[in-house]
Each structure stands twice: as structure tokens, then as C-alpha cells.
A and B are shown apart, each in its own frame.
Chain A
């Protein structure tokens, strides 16, 4: 008995794809001073998204909650060894191996974002520069593993996990479903991201000098 049920609520999906977009942008602009303002803007976006995600990990729906993907090391090992034999159990939400990537990404995005903010405020010097680069490339590596995991898992269980992150739905037992979608919250998030991008771009184009000063003040408030 399985049917199409909702697994990923709307805010989780908006979070995921906004993060994907920001992540791509931040790497495309990382090796240039020309796009430094865009790089910084996207870094702030990622930190904002993560702040939401941490709250949502406690307050969100069933599969978005941290408790649903907090596995023991034993569970992770069991899963990985089963995976190696091509017999991994199917999880409706995050599987134990996938959850490791999610936790790592969570910490790495916070670390890379925070070190980037400090670096941009000229705090920490060469050490901070080094830290920002190492954490960012570690994040890139984990993203590669995450994508590989999605491909492997999709093939293994004959389901498209990418489209599941778009539609939010999967084929599963009805009682595994999560009915609340919080579409309104997803819309608010989307609007917040777009407004921030538009506002930030307009401000930095208008008065770069004053804007840099503004960014410094903003950091002092933190």
C-alpha cells in the first residue's frame, strides 16, 4: 500500500533551492574582485537561509526536523555497509548516510559564512582567509558527495530524489506522509530572498562607499 505523499514541506524546498542557487553563485564569484559584492550578498543569503533552517529543524514538519535525521554512528555504519552490498534500506526522509552530509553542510555553511563575514570586516587576517577557503572547499567536496549520494540512492530505489525535492512528494505508505505544507511560509521566504537581493544590489550600486560603511556598522551590531 503506497501512494503519493508529501515528504518535504514548502519552506524546506524553498530553502534547499535558494541554497543551491546561492551556492553556485558564491563559487562562480569567488575567484574575482569584480563580483565581490555579489559574493558577499550571496554569503549573507546563505547565512540567513541557514538561520531559518536551524529554527525549522526544531519547529518544522516531520522530515524537516533534526530529530528525524539524527542517527547514531552505528546506524550510519550499518547503512553504509548495506549500501556497499547494494541492499540499503529505503528511508522516506533523509537516510543515515545522507544525513551525515546534511549535518556537515549545516556546520560548513555556518563556518564558511561566518568566516567570510569576519574576513570582509578585516577581522582575523591571513588565518581567517585560510579558514574561509578551507571551509568553503570542504563544503564544495561535501556537496559533491551529497549529489553522488542522491544519484546512487535514486538508482538503487528507482525513484527520482531530485524531483522529490521539487514536488515535495514521494511514493510511500500513507501514514508516512506529512500533510502540513506551510506554503505561505515558503512564499514569505522567497519574497524575503528576492527583496534582499534587489535591495542589496540597488544599495551597493548606488553608493559603494557608504555601503561598505553600512556593512561595517551592521557587523558591529552583531
Chain B
């Protein structure tokens, strides 16, 4: 019995890492402010541009994928994973209110997807441009 107890305790120790994380919901406005704050620290920053964001979103940046490869040319639509064909929910926050509410997710997916598309992290300017563009969708 004590053997099983040992295993259980060990398992619990591992599972305790799963302790609920504080979920602080944010609005896309707060993300916008955050990107602007970061972007201002780099010289030459003026403002975010939906047109630049759209161009960024729809072009490739050295690798074979663009953002639109998975999210489609119209972020109001559901996307399709370029590798697995899985459905991806619409990216535009006005169409899909779940988007840009969870800082952890926003951080995580910018990191992963920028790495796939650009082979580097996105700059605050690029993130702000893209979000500005996304906010013009579904108005």
C-alpha cells in the first residue's frame, strides 16, 4: 500500500504545477496601448497603420507562409491550418470577441506564429499594425 501511496504523492507533486493561473481578461484596447507603449521606445515610431498591418498580414517574410496562409486573406473568416487543415476561429476581434482577451495566449501565439512566418519575433510596431488592421475587419 505504501508503494502506491508513494506513487500517488509523486503524481500529486507534479500535478500541483497545474494550480489555476490567474486569468485577467483584457480588451484589445489594452493590447493596443501595450504595443504602443513598447513601440514608442524605438526611435522613429509615429503611429500604427491598418494599411501596413494588412500588407504585413498578407505577405510572406522569407519563409513560405504568411499570416494569411492559415488565417486566410479575410480574418473575418475561419482559417485553416496550413499543415493539418484544422479549423482556426476568426482572428478579427469584432467578429470573434474571444480574440485579444488573454495576454498569455496573445503572447504565446505571436511568439510561435511570428517564428514560423518571419523566423524571428515580431516587433511592437508590427503587432500594433496587425491589430489595427484586424480592428477594421467586421466593423
A contact set with B: CB distance below 8 Å: 31-37, 40, 70-74, 76, 100, 103-104, 107-108, 120, 122, 126, 130-131, 134-135, 138, 208-209, 211-212
Number of A-B contacts (CB under 8 A): 69
CA distance A36 to B21 in the complex (A): 26
Residues of chain A contacted by B81 (CB below 8 angstroms): 33, 36, 212
Kindly list 16 other residue pairs between chains A and B, CB separation below 8 angstroms, not including A34-B83, A212-B81: A31-B112, A31-B115, A32-B115, A33-B82, A33-B112, A33-B116, A34-B116, A72-B3, A76-B6, A103-B7, A108-B14, A126-B105, A130-B18, A130-B21, A135-B14, A208-B84
Q: Which residues of B contact A32 (CB under 8 A)?
A: 112, 115-116
Contact among B3, B14, B85 for A208, CB-based, below 8 A: B85
Q: Contact check: which of B3, B17, B85, B113 meets A70 at CB < 8 Å?
A: B3
The winner among A32, A120, A122, A211 for most chain B CB atoms within 10 A is A32
Contact in complex: B86, A71 (CB < 8 Å): no
Number of interface residues of B (CB under 8 A): 27
Q: Check A138–B84 contact: CB distance below 8 A.
A: no
Contact among A35, A40, A73, A209 with B2 in the assembled complex (CB-CB below 8 Å): A73
- The CA of A208 and the CA of B81, in the complex, are separated in Å by 10
Contact check, B84 vs A37: say whether CB atoms are below 8 A apart: yes
Query: B65 contacts the other chain (Cβ, under 8 Å)?
Result: yes
A208 touches B83 (CB 8 A): yes
